[in-house]
Amino acid sequence: MKFLLKISIITMVLLATVAGQAFAAEYADTLRVGICYGSGAVDSLDFESSSDIYAGILNGREFIPVKLIDASLVTAKPDLVDSAAAYHVIYSSHETPEDAHLAVASLNESGIECFIGYKNSSFCAMGGNYKSMNDAQWAAENLAAAGTPVASSASAVRLVDALGKTQFLVDDTAKGLAVYSSDFEDPDTLLKISGPAKGTYRGGFECRALTAGKLTIVNVVPVESYLYSVVCREMSPSWNVEALKAQAVCARNFALGRINYHKQYGFDVCRTVCCQAYSTDADQSQNVHTAVDTTKGELLFYEDQLVQAVYSSSMGAYTESVENVWGSKFPYLVSVENPYEDTENIYNGKWTKTLTADRATEIMHSKGYNIGDVIEIKVIENTPAGGVLKLLVRGTGGEKVFERESCRSIFSEATYSQRYTVTKGGQTIKPVLYIASGTSKTSPVTLGSVSVLTGSKAVTSVNDACTVSDGKAKKTYKTTQTNGDANTYTFSGEGWGHGVGMSQYGAKGMAEAGFNYEEILTHYYTGTHIKKAY
Ligand SMILES: [Zn+2]
């Protein structure tokens, strides 16, 4: 069941930003996938490959190889000025890496240890890793060749081998240092990385020092290779291949609709359910490969618009129209029946959760809604499909009406979807008391009818309270438990996720019932058609 926990609940909060965008006939063939970024940026990263490793730079999405690394393991790290060795000497600058290599070889022959660098948009022969500008200055003036001393900027990234020898250095605010396997377009060529997202990946990587002393790591990967690692995470590879094909087309549409989505970090999509779950260990399942390969280049369109192919785990009896969730209208994201989803028997398909009034009050306050103590939670309007459109939360000092997606997100610990009912109070649990002696115990005795004394220790019970004492301290337990508290709200619902677009479990059910992926997709995305874009 571990897999089921991984099924994504896609949250498309920014759907409106790409609303109605008509896509040109050309699509990115390579995606930039965020691996380590923001607070997850790393101090350094190791790369390991059984095939050759190249270091280079990226020109847009195109990898420009600069140096074949003579090692199977290399480490990228920031080359900060305030670190121990971030002062260098530039001996010469060149337009091509080939010319820079020749200059490096010649300098090495003359006894100056050099490496290739990329600084100020030029390839250069660099020496250094000096501890201070004075040291770099001295070297620039006194070694066999004259050069210019430089200090690395905060953007500089250095690649070193296992012996600590610098292999390549990039110091450019717009470009990072790229590390690729020799045949990065071959989906069977894998590159292994260390760190919090350690694992094997297809494609290559770009490392940029976007924040001082930390590396942002982006996996730059062909779209079709990316899909292998998404489909295997978003659905179980064991599912019917027609469901996997539907997932592959959705994932392709979704990714190509999110180019530059995380542009503050320099990538398109992240590897979490914020975008699409992306495997840290490249999946080799034949079913997944078949699903991606047989739908290669296929995209879902509504007229000439690329469909925003949102999806979530399960949805219950009906999917929800997008306007009732995110507000914007899309003619192909309208409510449809979802009859093939086995809602009763799937993880988080049907659910019941409770929330005490105290906890509801705490949540409201933590989210900035100061309405006093919560005294009522009530659905005041449903969508035509039966979802919650408006939820009233009344407190002792005011009230707040939540609409659309916030009906799911406000009490997210008690609601797995926007499709639920809420009732106040719950079943009353009447606790019972056992009197134990050694390993045996009596039949249960209903509290409120018993009083037991054993020496100085006592257990007494009166009405709805039970008091336990050891002669010194005593503690009272309420005999009516939380679940039966009149101030408890019970949320009963179906579906897991936002409920818009394709139900992944519904797609599984349709595939098992004999529908093909095209029928699945056109069922969930009304009025759409598949086109092979490349
Ligand atoms: Zn994301």
Q: Give me the DSSP letters along 4-72.
A: HHHS-B---TTGGGGTTPPPPS---SEEEEEEE-GGG-BS-EEEE-SS-EEEEEEETTEEEEEEEESSS
**Distance from residue 274's CA to the centre of ligand 1 (Å):** 4
**Distance from residue 233's CA to the centre of ligand 1 (Å):** 15
**Distance from residue 413's CA to the centre of ligand 1 (Å):** 22
pLDDT cut 70: percent of the chain above it: 84
pTM for this model (two decimals):
0.80
Distances in whole angstroms, Cα of residue 426 to Cα of each of 211, 429, 487: 51, 9, 9
**Distance from residue 265's CA to the centre of ligand 1 (Å):** 11
**Distance from residue 230's CA to the centre of ligand 1 (Å):** 13
Which parts of the chain sit beneath pLDDT 70?
1-25, 81-84, 282, 426-471, 475-485
Question: Mean pLDDT across the chain, nearest whole number?
Answer: 87
pLDDT score at 470:
65
**Distance from residue 271's CA to the centre of ligand 1 (Å):** 7
**Distance from residue 337's CA to the centre of ligand 1 (Å):** 29
pLDDT score at 487:
84
**Distance from residue 437's CA to the centre of ligand 1 (Å):** 58
pLDDT score at 188:
78
**Distance from residue 433's CA to the centre of ligand 1 (Å):** 52
**Distance from residue 513's CA to the centre of ligand 1 (Å):** 33
CB-CB contact of 509 with 235 (8 Å): no
pLDDT score at 55:
96
Domain spans of the chain?
1-12+228-349+495-534, 40-177, 350-427+486-494, 432-479
Rounded distance, CA 206 to CA 175, Å?
9
pLDDT score at 10:
39
Q: SS3 of 237, please?
A: coil
pLDDT score at 3:
35
**Distance from residue 290's CA to the centre of ligand 1 (Å):** 26
